[in-house]
Amino acid sequence: MQPGLENMTVIGNELALRWTDQLESYFPFEFLRKRCPCALCAGEKDILGNVYGGTVKLGRQAFS
C-alpha cells in the first residue's frame, strides 16, 4: 500500500511533506517551479502536433 500524505507545510524555500509511513520529503520551490506540467509552462499539442505555449520565462520571484 502506498503511503498517504499526512501533512505539508512550507519551510523556508521548500515544500515539506510528511507521509503516513513517517518519511519526509523536501522539495525546493525552484525544483517544483521548473517542473510545472501545465499548458502555460510546458506547452500543449493540438491534434496536428503543433505546440502552443511553453514559453514562460521565470524571473527570480518565481523561486522565492
Rounded Cα distance between 1 and 42, Å, is: 31
Q: Is 32 an interacting residue with respect to Zn ion (CB under 5 A)?
A: no
Residue nearer to Zn ion on the CB measure, 1 or 57: 57
Secondary structure, 3-state, 28-50? EHHHHHHCCCCHHHHCEECCCCC
* Sites for Zn ion among residues 36-55 (CB under 5 A): 36, 38, 40-41
What 8-state DSSP symbol labels residue 62?
Answer: G
Residue nearer to Zn ion on the CB measure, 23 or 42: 42
Binding footprint of Zn ion on the chain (CB under 5 A): 36, 38, 40-41
